[in-house]
Copies of this chain bind each other. A is one copy, B any other.
């Protein structure tokens, strides 16, 4: 086994930043800072390999004992104090530090090395017994919690008794106030040394009672107990689940850092704080952070005292309790600024720093890449690339593509106070607020008066489209991710929360009753809102809030545009958009879409003036009546395509022929059926019968897609005619058109060859007039059988488009509309590593995709391969599609920029090891 313990201190370090695998992020940072000559308290790092050996064998590897002892001796020499020496004791901190930062693992034990003897000696030496016993009681509590498994809460009662005693001395009547008030009236900083000393004894007694063993007094025993706690925490449940979710292998292990203590709580010339080398929310280059005088590290995070700003600034609040470090300790602040600059240009990235000032002297305790907002990430990456700090490729890789979504929709102001009323599905991203209305007509009317409205419906139907257009956002009580409301709202780029089952809408009284749940899922109260009340919805998280919560508008700064140009330069997969209307197509093109990968034709039939003809077609008893009804749809369908082809001139447009089952087009309530019966001259009974006939138990697996066209070929014939006539019309006007006709839900070659016959016949008829347009013919791969039989299908299809939504549903046997009830819990519990509708299930669905790619290409080497499921906008899935060798991805217009960046990163990363990009955290 190689070296297991790495010393750092006195300007030299045995490790450095290149040994992150072995030293973890924290250890590598400490070693690197030491090597750079920065003021770092000496210490040593026990390697991740030692952790792995310990996990596997249940004991420490040979030689570790010795190596730790030697390193400890060097620390003692450097500090000039001795571990366990009552006269001049060395105290240390023990912290875990894996390659990537990970919640759920043991974090920190401070002040290790204290026992009654060393505390007594230290109190004498510092003449500050209050400081020493405060540190001691904190150490006992922390150590008991993380290394002995005794919960902190158990110490609370002893603390409260101490506070009460002090309160009495101040004349406070403790019988009339509760614990929280007592804590405020007697802050821990006012507990005198004697009380703190008493607490140490009380805490130890509690530990002995709980564990059956005395608290360890021997510093070496304390140290090994802490090391074992760090290593053991690698395999605890929460950490395991987190790793599984984030694809971090168990074999990485964690390192353990042991470092000489410095104290920020030695008095008013001591302090502790955290700093960012840039503003993590805007990316602006300035020292940003918080500090507390006379405090230890944990106090900044604990939130008992309010931290103060590091630097002077126009937005700082007034008053001594808001004073900046720059003003209070200018020299230490100047040192910190210098160090921050040095570290940022050394690491070529924005750094997140921890520091402590002891008696006016600055010490660095940690440095790592800082988390940042998407906006800041873009600005930092672009500025650093322009400054020559990093390459443009590196800049492209620095930005989390998924986070870009934040920049493309309005978002809730994270600082604004808000009250959550209900949760539902995050059906269409973005935030919006407005007055509640319960009908589409009302929405249109009020919006016409200039009022912002939110349309709330039990569920929406094609009759509600005008109201959805008029509203700022849509909320439904029922329906899933592919419900009418969700699909239409996404198409419109309008925020939507769907299927929020806690909401009970009453159209009669024009009110909605919301059952509000607490964090544990228990109902607490019912809130009733009426028409005109204001709510805010966040379609990115599926939340509905009370009143108007301020939002932050989307802003594409100049840096964003620059970054996208660099990104596109190295991209190999095309990015198309899913768009059903000329407007969507225009938006998509403005976001850089290079074609339409999925133009759904069914939504075209939901428009009010068309659905009547569609219904007539469905209710027809024979081919000729169906053809008559379809003929009425032809002109408007052709117009749709003309508009889309114009917008996408020069780019390919993949049009999927009718996909959903016919019952989706029929009215569902009695009134609508009556109305339809009247205008169509068909008895309501017949209408109801037909609706019943068409009902399906599992519509997802029903009579839809190409199956409709096998039964009623005339439907696709009309659609193909509309496509090709539109293409000819636009081509005649001098624009380039590239129609791609796509057949949904095929599972056999025979289905495709039948459709090909129809397409060729119509093409011959349309082109007979003289103008010909080149087009291609292909299919979706959206069922497992299609993937397995891809070689057969490729005999007919010139392109495949993977419909990964349906493919996921079928492969996992998971209905996306229904899974909302249990899938989130499944993912949270780690039963599934992630939501397979968000990130492609690579082990399952991904294997079918790879199989279809291989078989399709074997049969037809030049086959064009793309994907048009919502995974087309998910960065992790995009990386998979790059590796699988697809030609393009297609996603919703508002995700095009995300997909472009993700595809650009995927192109640069493919071939690199899987974890190459892990750990450069962005918020």
Q: A residues near B, CB below 8 A?
A: 480, 501, 692-693, 696-703, 707, 710-711, 745, 747-748, 750-751, 754, 782-785, 788-789, 792, 806, 809-815, 817-819, 821-822, 825-826, 829-832, 841, 843-845, 847-848
Contact = CB atoms under 8 A, between A and B. Distances in A.
Q: Which of A696, A699, A785, A809 has the most CB of B within 10 A?
A: A785
A817 B710 contact: no
A831 B745 CA distance: 13
Nearest to A701: B815
23 contacts: A501-B693, A693-B821, A697-B817, A700-B700, A700-B701, A700-B813, A701-B809, A701-B814, A701-B815, A710-B831, A711-B822, A747-B813, A748-B832, A782-B813, A783-B813, A784-B811, A784-B813, A784-B848, A785-B811, A785-B812, A788-B848, A792-B843, A806-B813
A294 to B, nearest CB: 48
Contacts of A784: 784, 810-813, 844, 848
Contacts of A841: 785
Contacts of A822: 703, 707, 710-711
Question: Which 3 A-B pairs rank lowest in CB-CB distance, beginning with the nearest?
Answer: A701-B815, A785-B844, A698-B815
A698 B847 contact: no
Contacts of A693: 501, 821
Nearest to A811: B784
A821 to B, nearest CB: 6
A819 B700 CA distance: 12
Given A693-B821, A785-B813, 16 more contacts: A501-B692, A698-B815, A698-B817, A699-B818, A700-B700, A702-B815, A710-B826, A710-B831, A747-B813, A750-B830, A783-B812, A784-B784, A784-B844, A788-B847, A792-B843, A810-B811
Contact of A826 (B699, B707, B825): B707
B818 A697 contact: yes
Q: Which of A710, A813, A819 has the most CB of B within 10 A?
A: A813
Nearest to A809: B701
A818 B703 contact: yes
A745 B817 CA distance: 18
B754 A783 contact: no
Contact of A811 (B783, B826, B847): B783
B830 A480 contact: no
A606 to B, nearest CB: 18
Contacts of A792: 843
A721 to B, nearest CB: 23
A700 B703 contact: no
A703 B789 contact: no
Contacts of A814: 701
A592 B627 CA distance: 57
Contacts of A832: 748, 750
Contacts of A819: 702-703
A849 to B, nearest CB: 11
A700 B809 CA distance: 11
A784 B693 CA distance: 30
Q: Which of A702, A747, A818 has the most CB of B within 10 A?
A: A818
A814 B822 CA distance: 24
A817 to B, nearest CB: 4
A427 to B, nearest CB: 14
Contacts of A818: 696-699, 701-703
A822 B789 CA distance: 21
Contact of A698 (B700, B745, B843): B700
Contacts of A806: 813
A855 to B, nearest CB: 11
A822 B704 CA distance: 10
A748 B831 contact: yes
Nearest to A704: B813
A44 to B, nearest CB: 38
Contact of A831 (B751, B782, B812): B751
A702 B817 CA distance: 9
Contacts of A501: 692-693
Nearest to A808: B785
Contacts of A844: 747, 784-785, 788-789
Contacts of A699: 697-698, 818
Contacts of A701: 698, 700-701, 809-810, 813-815, 818
Nearest to A749: B831
Contacts of A697: 480, 699-700, 815, 817-818
A383 B190 CA distance: 107
A429 to B, nearest CB: 22
Contact of A754 (B789, B810, B831): B831
B812 A813 contact: no
A608 B783 CA distance: 40
A459 to B, nearest CB: 11
B821 A703 contact: yes
A829 B754 CA distance: 11
A569 to B, nearest CB: 37
Contacts of A809: 698, 701
A829 B713 CA distance: 13
Nearest to A813: B783
A151 to B, nearest CB: 23
Contact of A812 (B747, B812, B826, B843): B747
A825 B750 CA distance: 14
Contacts of A845: 785
Contacts of A829: 710
Contacts of A782: 813
A809 B848 CA distance: 17
A748 B843 CA distance: 10
A376 to B, nearest CB: 37
A815 B696 contact: yes
A469 to B, nearest CB: 25
Nearest to A477: B692
Given A697-B700, A698-B698, A745 B710 contact: no
Nearest to A621: B522
A484 to B, nearest CB: 12
Nearest to A787: B784
A518 to B, nearest CB: 14
Nearest to A478: B692
A847 B782 CA distance: 17
A824 to B, nearest CB: 11
A848 B788 CA distance: 9
A346 to B, nearest CB: 43
A884 to B, nearest CB: 15
Contacts of A748: 831-832
Contacts of A783: 811-813
B703 A745 contact: no
A832 B707 CA distance: 11
A710 B832 CA distance: 11
A692 B821 CA distance: 12
A430 B111 CA distance: 83
Contacts of A480: 697
Contacts of A815: 696-698, 700-702
A832 B746 CA distance: 11
A505 to B, nearest CB: 13
Nearest to A694: B821
B843 A813 contact: no
A823 to B, nearest CB: 9
A766 B843 CA distance: 37
A684 to B, nearest CB: 15
A825 to B, nearest CB: 7
Contacts of A843: 788-789, 792
Contacts of A831: 710, 748, 750-751, 754
Contacts of A745: 813
